Amino acid sequence: MESNLGWKEYIITRAIRVAGYSAIVFVTLIFYFLLREGLPTLAEVKLPELFALRWYPIEKYFGILPLISGSLIVTIGAALIAIPFGIGTAIFISEIAPRWAREILKPLVELLGGLPSVVLGFLGILVLAPNLRLLLNLPTGLTALTGSLLLGAIAVPTVVSVAEDALDSVPRSYREGAWALGATRWQTIWRVTLPAARSGVLTAVMLGVGRAIGETMTVMMVTGNAPVLVTSLGGLFSPVRTMTATIAAEMGEVANGSVHYHTLFFIGMVLFIISLIVNVTASAVVFRSQKRAERVLS
């Protein structure tokens, strides 16, 4: 009986340990399969052709710059919306709102985070795009701007929750110290609390932007899907095509193992590396600030 128990415990502990390592295994597997299916592109498409200005796979034009520029412009637009509104909402929830307002706001923001992106894309097509077209007098409402507005909404919950955590973790004594010195609540927020939480707020911004770059369904549905190189902010008002939308729209129709197939995986690899950089940097910022907090407290 005794040894039986020992065996059972041994096996369970082993299994738990293996499960603990699974995240590393999966990240490695994902990267391996993206490389395996994506790297052949470099042998099949010459580098200058890959970084050319034309994406037209049927005619064997595999220039991914228009797609990168499309992702960039939509993401910049989304960031311009999500950063101020996300941080503003986080400040409101954490510093200004009375208790009852907080109890209403937090679940509502979570609700936005829970809305499937395909629902926002759907509303974008039926409601937002036609109205934007009329309002701005454009030939079509399916533009980078429409995508940016919706992506901004998608990134807001991420920014709010991370930034609010950061503001919340600023010790109350900081605020009390500022008030005692005669600062108003606003001065305290602006000069003490926000700077003290800046690494967390920065993380919030990065994760929000990362969320926006990776978003697929909404942008595929509302940005008009024209793989045109965007060279200025004016491109916001015309149709674009992002990297994510290209993969989602074209992968269903390509032959496995073709050049087009490999190139789509190559784009996936680029997206993976971008998200890797964003997330590793963001977590490095968090780890560093935790260390600093420990130092201050000890």
Return the residues of window 216-235 that contact another protein according to CB under 8 A.
216-217, 221
Q: Long-range CB contacts (< 8 A, 24+ apart) of 91-95?
A: 91/163, 91/167, 91/189, 91/194, 93/160, 93/164, 94/164, 94/167, 94/168, 95/167, 95/185, 95/189, 95/193
Is there binding between residue 136 and another protein (CB under 8 A)?
no
Contact window for another protein (CB under 8 A) among 56-64, 72-80, 108-116, 167-175: 108-116
Cβ neighbours around 94 below 10 Å, total: 21
Tokens describing residue 1: 């009986």
Q: What is the 3-state secondary structure (H, E, C) of 100-140?
A: HHHHHHHHHHHHHHHCCHHHHHHHHHHHHHHHHHHHHCCCC
- Quick one: 176 or 231, whose CB is closer to another protein? 176
- Quick one: 46 or 185, whose CB is closer to another protein? 185
Contact window for another protein (CB under 8 A) among 49-57, 120-128, 133-141, 290-298: 120-128
Tokens describing residue 31: 């990267």
Tokens describing residue 251: 């992968």
Q: Which of residues 24-83 bind another protein (CB under 8 A)?
A: 24, 26-27, 29-30, 33-34, 36-37
Is there binding between residue 123 and another protein (CB under 8 A)?
yes
Is there binding between residue 147 and another protein (CB under 8 A)?
no
Query: In the bound complex, what is the minimum distance in angstroms from residue 197's beta carbon to another protein?
Result: 15
- Size of residue set near another protein by CB under 8 A: 88
Residue 155 CB contacts under 8 Å (≥ 6 apart), including other chains: 78, 79, 81, 82, 86, 208, 209, 211, 212
- Quick one: 213 or 236, whose CB is closer to another protein? 213
Query: In the bound complex, what is the minimum distance in angstroms from residue 207's beta carbon to another protein?
Result: 7
Is there binding between residue 122 and another protein (CB under 8 A)?
yes
Tokens describing residue 67: 């797609």
Query: In the bound complex, what is the minimum distance in angstroms from residue 234's beta carbon to another protein?
Result: 25
Q: Which of residues 176-215 bind another protein (CB under 8 A)?
A: 184-187, 189-190, 207, 210-211, 213-215
The binder of another protein chosen from 119, 136, 181, 233 (CB under 8 A): 119
Contact 204, 47 (CB under 8 A): no
Amino acid at 45: V
Burial class (CB in 10 A: 0-12, 13-18, 19+), 145: buried
The binder of another protein chosen from 7, 13, 176, 290 (CB under 8 A): 13
Q: Which of residues 251-280 bind another protein (CB under 8 A)?
A: 251-252, 256, 264-265, 268, 271-272, 275-276, 278-280
